Amino acid sequence: MTEVTFTPATAAIRLTHWLDAAAAAGLQRLPVDVEQLALHVAKELKWPDPIFKVVAADIPSFEGGLFHVEDQGWALLYNRNMTSEGRIRFTQAHELGHYLVHRFAQQEFQCSQADLVHWGPEMRSIEAEADDFASNLLMPMKQFRACTSTSEINFDILSDASSMFGVSLTATALRWIRSTEHSAVLILSRDGFIDWAVSSDKARANGAFYKTKGRVIELPPGSLAADETIVSNRSGAPISLGTWFMHAHRDAVAKEMKLVCDNYGYTLTLLSLSNGDKVWEPREWSHT
């Protein structure tokens, strides 16, 4: 028995190499066929406890699950009532991540919608690790960069990428914000309040981030996000950076893009900042 200890990153790299090799032999590379991958991965790894079935089920309380069945291995279940193919694919990949990385820790995993959609930056748990794995597996960096490394990002470009990778726009936007060298902030809001916000490394270094954990933060008045008369602005409009960050230089301008996701009851906002714009709170002692 070959026992490999995977992290979310090394598991995704291993499977990505297989998929690249299979694609070189003529199989379709994207979107990733997670079901087939899940059913065959144990054989490739020479593991004794395979995922023996991937099945849709009526399980209203959760989106996906992974259950150990004595003498058979693991059953991967997903909610048949999920509305989009992309969401099903991400859920299956999330459960596959539990199988590869966490199966020694638990005999069963039940993953709710909150686990899969409320994917905030401050959450470090096996749920976040399974999401990291799914993101890396479904949107391999080489192909992802090839279709999103444009000088200007917008929701049209991200939407095209989400179709290519067969995942939701939200998952695609999170992948982008976590890998870009641009200064940008992705915000998910509901009913006028920020649910979570994720900043790119550059934006974070420039002070452009929101701490949402345990806080109630209203969308800033004057933003596109707060304007209920605007349904969507996929390519974006200029906005004073001070609208979103009170310590921004008064002349600084950002681009705000907005997408109302009716199906899920939330709004996505993407703020694109100039790399040189810093919005840190001025400190009095710095002047003395």
Which one, of 246, 194, 247, 190, lies nearest residue 217 by Cα? Answer: 194
- Find the Cα–Cα–Cα–Cα dihedral 220, 222, 226, 232, rounded to 10°: -130
| Rounded distance between C-alpha atoms, residue 81 and residue 120, angstroms | 24
- Please state the φ and ψ torsions of residue 275, each to the nearest 5 degrees: -60, -25
51-57/73-79 β-pairing: parallel
Tell me the closest approach of the beta carbon of residue 153 to Zn ion, in angstroms: 29
**Residue 66 touching Zn ion (CB under 5 A):** no
Scanning 45-53, 114-122, 135-143, 168-176 for contacts with Zn ion by CB under 5 A, the matching segment is 114-122
Scanning 113-121, 159-167, 179-187, 194-202 for contacts with Zn ion by CB under 5 A, the matching segment is 113-121
Which one, of 81, 100, 75, lies nearest residue 8 by Cα? Answer: 100
Tell me the closest approach of the beta carbon of residue 105 to Zn ion, in angstroms: 12
Tell me the closest approach of the beta carbon of residue 91 to Zn ion, in angstroms: 9
**Residue 271 touching Zn ion (CB under 5 A):** no
Tell me the closest approach of the beta carbon of residue 48 to Zn ion, in angstroms: 23
CB 61 within 8 A of CB 107: no
**Residue 93 touching Zn ion (CB under 5 A):** no
Binding-site size, Zn ion (CB under 5 A): 4
Q: How many C-beta atoms lie closer than 10 Å to residue 118's C-beta?
A: 13
**Residue 130 touching Zn ion (CB under 5 A):** yes
Which one, of 68, 33, 65, 63, lies nearest residue 51 by Cα? Answer: 68
**Residue 111 touching Zn ion (CB under 5 A):** yes
Scanning 4-12, 125-133, 172-180, 194-202 for contacts with Zn ion by CB under 5 A, the matching segment is 125-133
| Rounded distance between C-alpha atoms, residue 104 and residue 98, angstroms | 9
Scanning 111-119, 184-192, 220-228, 235-243 for contacts with Zn ion by CB under 5 A, the matching segment is 111-119
Q: Which residue is listed with tokens 């399980």?
A: 59
Tell me the closest approach of the beta carbon of residue 115 to Zn ion, in angstroms: 5
Tell me the closest approach of the beta carbon of residue 110 to Zn ion, in angstroms: 8
Q: What is the contact surface with Zn ion in residues (CB under 5 A)?
A: 111, 115, 127, 130
